[in-house]
Amino acid sequence: MVTEALKVLIWNEYIHEIRDENVIRIYPDGMHHAIGTALTRLLPGVDVRTATLAEPEHGLTEEALAGTDVLLWWGHAAHEAVEDAVVERVKQHVLGGMGLIVLHSGHWSKIFTSLLGTTATLQWRSSGDRELVWTTTPSHPIAEGVPNPIVIAEQEMYGEPFDIPAPEEIVFISSFSGGEVFRSGVTFTRGRGRIFYFSPGDQDYPVYHHPDVQRVIANAARWASPRSRERRVPSLRGPVAPVV
Amino acid sequence: MVTEALKVLIWNEYIHEIRDENVIRIYPDGMHHAIGTALTRLLPGVDVRTATLAEPEHGLTEEALAGTDVLLWWGHAAHEAVEDAVVERVKQHVLGGMGLIVLHSGHWSKIFTSLLGTTATLQWRSSGDRELVWTTTPSHPIAEGVPNPIVIAEQEMYGEPFDIPAPEEIVFISSFSGGEVFRSGVTFTRGRGRIFYFSPGDQDYPVYHHPDVQRVIANAARWASPRSRERRVPSLRGPVAPVV
Amino acid sequence: MVTEALKVLIWNEYIHEIRDENVIRIYPDGMHHAIGTALTRLLPGVDVRTATLAEPEHGLTEEALAGTDVLLWWGHAAHEAVEDAVVERVKQHVLGGMGLIVLHSGHWSKIFTSLLGTTATLQWRSSGDRELVWTTTPSHPIAEGVPNPIVIAEQEMYGEPFDIPAPEEIVFISSFSGGEVFRSGVTFTRGRGRIFYFSPGDQDYPVYHHPDVQRVIANAARWASPRSRERRVPSLRGPVAPVV
Amino acid sequence: MVTEALKVLIWNEYIHEIRDENVIRIYPDGMHHAIGTALTRLLPGVDVRTATLAEPEHGLTEEALAGTDVLLWWGHAAHEAVEDAVVERVKQHVLGGMGLIVLHSGHWSKIFTSLLGTTATLQWRSSGDRELVWTTTPSHPIAEGVPNPIVIAEQEMYGEPFDIPAPEEIVFISSFSGGEVFRSGVTFTRGRGRIFYFSPGDQDYPVYHHPDVQRVIANAARWASPRSRERRVPSLRGPVAPVV
């Protein structure tokens, strides 16, 4: 386990918060700033950095990634604008051990679908549904310290069927006022990297100001942290000698 | 695959339907009769039999089980009245290959908890919630031919956390008008036996008259059918000779 | 379930069998021909077609794929020569329901790694190890009718760690004379498509002439067959109306 | 996470080590003593206690279990002599959060089969096979710091098929000189309790003196440790009020 301070890098496309009035009001400094402030408060000693789409290489240089234990990903309006070479670089770091937390509409990002192999499509409606986030596995570290259910007054609805591979663990399942359900907190492993997808967090609602949502993300950052900072992407080995 | 006619045995404790006026009205001949009639219609050539708690050995004699491909189980008021020796006999047949479909409050039966190893507890409320049964894996044979969601006008609410081992497959997740969610259709394998748990079906509502619910149960009976009628309970083998 | 004759398309890069003397001796008409002959014998009524790298669009035109229930994939020397556009086309068909059986060194094909999201790397040695293929889940349809273990006199060794996501089912685990182990028969689902990876089958040994290996591939073709021939790639749906 | 010193209770039937000359020579103070000494060395601050079959209530009183974070279980010759009431007590503690590590022939103990629901049978041979323990998921905390493979010069062979439910994680797969394979390190969750089964450890060979085996058990003790010392067995809750 990494015992020094956890190094978290929050990536945000950062478009809605400089373009849409409603979103600017909710997140005047961007969602990455709101999440970062929460993590700093909840994870003593954490080293939080941020990166955005507009930066050179989207702020995801080899050096930035090499210095990251867990990467958070929020994207929505500009998935296609993320350069393939950067996506491939991020993927190699995940396979080598970096943790990855994909948030909300990040389900449709290049990095997430590339790691999953499916379309990650779903059904949706943005009309202020109340979302209830139910913990299905109460002993899971990511669910520690949150009420069952978490009540989010208003959220975009994300509903099943959600086209993902069968998750390794389902931590949360949500219901919405419209009657839909969604596997809203699910885990995967790819290579040496731990991945957590957490769906609450549409830009139009102040979801990342919600203390329980913040707690889940902080728990997930700890959970996804690699055991070693050395990146070791699995590789072909051979011809190897027989053991006997 | 068993290619002859599928042999289904429907076990019902058959207490509510002879004791409670409301239930008598809904199921004058018992739930097992309603389910059996549906299976006969939906599965051409199926051989449907029934058994109830009051029969000698609860109708689950060695001979009855030996002639069964898939056993359905509905119990609620009298789980404790089921004899341990009969439970053990049923368990051996499941481990040897017989399919098992556990319905509704059968989650708390001796046979289900004995095969799962957990408490199978949950939260509940019987006040006529509308249940929506969402298919999460649309390509699963048990979900074939049913709408997404199945709408059940009134049902007992069963909610998470549901204390079961992580299922092999989650076919359905339900929401309820009260806001709860539930993994309502889940699969397990124990020994050579396939197990499907399906939660809709409280005695106070006409759930087993619902055509989509009937379709799910018919699909599940086909799915749980063993590939061979020979029962082969896994057994210890040794000392065996080395292969080399 | 597709009840008409199963339509199987066997894709083979077909390089070793026209270039390497030893391989030409074993498979004078190509591995695809050997496998196809076996499937024709084992699956009554099956419609077997073949396609190879050298054909236009590698023989994997939209029309060819649309008429395929289950695609087999053997590749080794020329993974990079497979056009990305063709890989993407195959992927869409798998997500829409077409079954996929990946054989031996196909583990490192573009289509397999793209569906899995990992490197699919492993350790290897090609020096005629004896491989024992053990069935770990004897009730699985893919294991039907094969001895436990299957004995393959000579094979390339593929050893753990095998960098794949946790499989949904592990049907076979192999050991090798050199002492290694390998998850040699594993299943995945992506979208609506069922995927089976089966590792025996190096070009330098007559593995596809082995009756038990042929039986496994025939079983897998049946298992991976879609329930409907309509391809339905999961897609985003919204905004949807609330159910209530 | 329990941050105070980890409390480990090692249960051993302690029969072979006082009855069989060969075993007495290897473990003059019992296997529990050898394992305890290793854990004390490898887990700074750990509080190790032991309990044996011959003690009143087999040393597994309510008080002893209440003071335990992780219970280790070694049994072989006297599974039937373990009282059902004690097994049930242990089971309730596991469901409530206590970690459980089942060793070697403990696969056939009442507590393990009762938590799994299957026969846990396998094939075996005790003739000094060399066992190679391969790590299949190198990033798993239980595999930290051990070579791949672990080489055990002489061991009883345990071979597939191993009749267990599909494990949540497969950490290790072993091969034996005789050619067999075995899922030798597997995890399960039941209720709030984490369970790890680890097969190396026959009484006739000095396996628990092997530093890599000791390391695995120490890693597993940490991994299985509950997040809270409060035992909370899942329970039925109802009727609950709707959230809305």
Report the candidate in B104, B124, B121 with the shortest Cα–Cα distance to residue B180. Answer: B124
The per-residue pLDDT for D4 is 72
Question: What's the average model confidence in pLDDT over A20-25?
Answer: 97
Give per-residue pLDDT as tens, D24-54. Answer: 999 999 999 999 999 999 999 999 999 999 9
Answer whether D236 sits within 8 Å of B127, measured CB to CB.
Answer: no
Q: What whole-number distance in Å separates Cα of residue B227 and Cα of residue C3?
A: 18
H/E stretch holding D124: strand D123-135
pLDDT in the model for residue A110: 98
Q: What is the tens place of the pLDDT at every residue in B52-62?
A: 999 999 999 99
Q: Reduced to 3 states, what is the DSSP secondary structure of residue C41?
A: helix
Phi-psi region of D172 (alpha: psi -120 to 50; beta: other; left: phi over 0): beta
pLDDT of residue B171: 98
Instruction: Give the Cα separation of C112 and C73 in Å (integer).
Output: 9
Report the gap between the CA of D33 and the closest CA in chain A (Å): 28
What pairs with residue C150 in β-bridges?
C133
pLDDT digits (tens), chain C, 244 positions: 555 799 999 999 999 999 999 999 999 999 999 999 999 999 999 999 999 999 999 999 999 999 999 999 999 999 999 999 999 999 999 999 999 999 999 999 999 999 999 999 999 999 999 999 999 999 999 999 999 999 999 999 999 999 999 999 999 999 999 999 999 999 999 999 999 999 999 999 999 999 999 999 999 999 999 999 999 999 999 999 999 7
Candidates C41, C27, C30, C14; CA nearest to C221 is C41
Spatial separation of the C-alpha atoms in residues A211 and A200, rounded to whole Å: 12
CB contact under 8 A, C149 and B243: yes
| Nearest CB to C173 within list D137, D138, D173 | D173
Task: Give phi and psi for A30, each to the nearest 5.
Answer: 95, 155
Distance of residue D72 Cα from the nearest chain A Cα, in angstroms? 20
Contact D29, D68 (CB under 8 A): no
Q: What span, in angstroms and rounded, lies between the C-alpha atoms of D93 and D68? A: 9
B167 touches C at CB < 8 Å: no
For chains A and B, CB pairs below 8 A equal 63
Strands C47-52 and C70-74, by their bridges, are unpaired
CA angle B201, B204, B208 (to 5 degrees): 35
Write the single-letter amino acid at D109: S
- Reduced to 3 states (helix: H, G, I; strand: E, B; else coil), residue C70 is strand
Report the pLDDT value the prediction gives residue A174, as an integer from 0 to 100: 98
Q: Can you tell me the distance from the alpha carbon of D217 to that of B5, in angstroms, rounded to the nearest whole number?
A: 51
Contacts of C165 in chain A (CB under 8 A): 165, 188-190
Judge whether residue D244 has pLDDT over 90: no
Chain A: list its partners (3+ Cβ pairs within 8 Å).
B, C, D
The confidence score (pLDDT) of residue A71 equals 98
Interface contact A115, partner C, CB < 8 A: yes
Beta strands in B36-147 (DSSP E): 47-52, 70-74, 99-103, 123-135
Q: Return d(Cα D43, Cα C102) in angstroms, integer.
A: 44
From residue B51, alpha-carbon distances to A143, A155, B103 in Å are: 43, 49, 15
Cβ-contact B82, B21 below 8 angstroms: no
Integer-rounded Cα Rg, in Å, for chain B is 18
> CB distance from B148 to chain C under 8 Å?
no
Residue A2 predicted with pLDDT over 60 = no
B160 close contact with A: CB closer than 8 A:
yes
A189/D contact by beta carbon, under 8 A: yes
Chain C residue numbers touching B193 (CB-CB < 8 A): 139
User: Can you tell me whether residue C219 is helix, strand or coil?
Assistant: helix
Q: Which chains touch C (3 or more CB pairs under 8 A)?
A: A, B, D
Percentage of residues of chain D with pLDDT beyond 70: 98
State mean pLDDT over A205-213: 98
Q: Does D148 touch chain A (CB under 8 A)?
A: no
Is cis: bond before B147, omega within 30 of 0? Answer: no
Phi/psi class of residue B197: alpha, beta or left (left: φ > 0; alpha: ψ in -120 to 50)? beta
Residues with pLDDT less than 50, chain B = none
For residue B209, the model assigns a pLDDT of 98
B96 touches chain C (CB under 8 A): no
> What single-letter amino acid sits at B6?
L
CB-based contact (8 Å) between D149 and chain C? yes
Q: Nearest-CA distance from B138 to chain C in Å?
A: 7
Our CA-based measurement puts residue A139 at a distance from the nearest CA of chain D, in whole angstroms, of 5
CA gap C93, A219 in Å, rounded: 38
Q: What is the pLDDT of residue A4?
A: 72
C-alpha span between B225 and B1 (Å, rounded): 8
CB D10 within 8 A of CB D100: no
Confidence class for position D56, pLDDT limits 50, 70, 90:
very high
pLDDT digits (tens, 9 = 90+) for D59-76: 999 999 999 999 999 999
Q: What gap in Å lies between CA B54 and CA B43, rounded to an integer? A: 28
pLDDT on residue D38: 98
Does C159 contact A at CB distance below 8 Å? yes
Judge: B137–A179 Cβ closer than 8 Å, yes or no. no
Identify which of D130, D161, D170 has the shortest CB distance to residue C138: D161
What SS3 class is residue C30? coil
What DSSP string describes A86-148?
Answer: HHHHHHHHHHHT-EEEEEGGGGGSHHHHHHH-S----EEEEEEEEEEEEES-TTSGGGTT--S
Task: Tell me whether residues C181 and D179 touch, CB distance under 8 A.
Answer: no
How many residues does the structure list for chain D?
244
Burial of B49 (0-12, 13-18, 19+ CB in 10 A): middle
Maximal C-alpha separation, chain D: 69
Nearest to A192 among D138, D151, D244 (CB): D138
At C1 the pLDDT is 52
CA distance A189 to chain D (A): 10
φ, ψ dihedrals at A216, nearest 5°:
-60, -45
Amino acid identity, residue C179? G
Identify how many contiguous H helices and E strands chain D contains and give both numbers: 7, 9
- Residue A1 pLDDT exceeds 70: no
List chain C residues with CB under 8 Å of A115.
Answer: 117
Mean pLDDT for chain A overall: 97
Give the dihedral of Cα atoms D60, D65, D71, D76; nearest 10 deg. 20
What band does D3 get if pLDDT is binned at 50, 70 and 90?
A: low
Checking DSSP bridges between strand A169-176 and strand A150-159, what pairing results, if any? unpaired
Q: What's A241's DSSP letter?
A: P
Partner residue opposite B161 with nearest CB, options A138, A159, A181: A138
pLDDT score of B2? 57
Q: What is the mean pLDDT of residues D70-84?
A: 98
Q: Please indicate if any CB of chain C lies within 8 Å of the CB of A238.
A: yes
For chain B, helix (H) and strand (E) counts, in that order, are 7, 9
The whole-angstrom distance between B135's CA and the closest CA on chain A is 7
- Angle separating helix axes D211-224 and D31-42, nearest 10 degrees: 70
Nearest chain A Cα distance for residue B138, angstroms: 7
**Residue B39 confidence (pLDDT):** 98
Give D244→chain B minimum CA distance, Å.
Answer: 6
ipTM: 0.96
Question: Hey, what are A136's tokens?
Answer: 């299905």
C-beta atoms of D159 and B240 within 8 A: yes
